[in-house]
Amino acid sequence: MQLTDTIDTLNGLLRLASGQQEWLENGAAEVRSPALAVLLRRQALGRAAAADELRALIAAQGGSPDESTSQRRRRRRPSAPQRARRLQMEHVWLLEGEWRDEATLARYRLALDSALPDAVRTALNRQLHDAERDHEQLRMLREAADRGRAGASLESPLRRWTRSIASQPYLAVSIAFTVGVLGCLAWRHAAQARR
């Protein structure tokens, strides 16, 4: 691989790492789950470290870091914050994160398939391993959320309604009173019908 190809590959990975860092920081600020926010912040720090390492590798190869992002590329998919606000779900963050990690893994594997200097190959292998670990963590969280959502959807509507009523004591008392009054009226009506 020529030196300019190596620099172009590294610049592409740098843009990817910077974009992911920004997305993860936005996600950490938007989600309500403290555990998910901590995970996203930790992954954002990892992407920032990867971006710094890529900048150093580009400089060592005699290039200059190019972190410009393409507007056309940004508009291709709606961002996760827009969809999360619209759908009111943190599950969207997990899905988007998993999708982004899969794209990152593909880009790293493609870069590693080309001829690279040994120092660059070693650094990219380490970053690929870190990206695989981050992807696995998000996948496990999403699968746990899917299992939780599936269990909730299997619950009967009557049971969900009863549980929601039990959590609101005033509503439960008024419904019990209404049921009692209706029962008395039905009993009275039946007694009058027997006469």
Both 81 and 162 in one domain: the answer is no
Triad 32, 36, 38: Cα angle to 5°: 105
User: What is the reported pLDDT for 42?
Assistant: 93
Both 20 and 109 in one domain: the answer is yes
Query: Range of 65's domain?
Result: 3-154
Domain of 125, CATH number, reads: 1.20.1260.10
Q: pLDDT category, 81, cuts 50, 70, 90?
A: low
Both 150 and 162 in one domain: the answer is no
User: What is the reported pLDDT for 156?
Assistant: 55
- C-alpha 166/C-alpha 124 separation (Å) is 55
Determine contact, residues 98/36, Cβ cutoff 8 Å: no
Determine contact, residues 77/97, Cβ cutoff 8 Å: no
pLDDT > 70: what percent of the chain?
Answer: 71
Both 120 and 24 in one domain: the answer is yes
Both 136 and 184 in one domain: the answer is no
Greatest mean pLDDT range, 28-37, 98-107, 141-150: 98-107
Both 171 and 187 in one domain: the answer is yes
Both 148 and 98 in one domain: the answer is yes
Both 129 and 169 in one domain: the answer is no
Both 86 and 101 in one domain: the answer is yes
User: How does pLDDT run across 109-118, given as a tens digit for each residue?
Assistant: 999 998 888 9
Both 89 and 140 in one domain: the answer is yes
Task: Tokens for 91, please give them.
Answer: 């599950």
User: What is the reported pLDDT for 164?
Assistant: 60
Counting the structural domains of the chain, the total is: 2
- C-alpha 13/C-alpha 99 separation (Å) is 16
Q: pLDDT category, 32, cuts 50, 70, 90?
A: confident
Both 144 and 163 in one domain: the answer is no
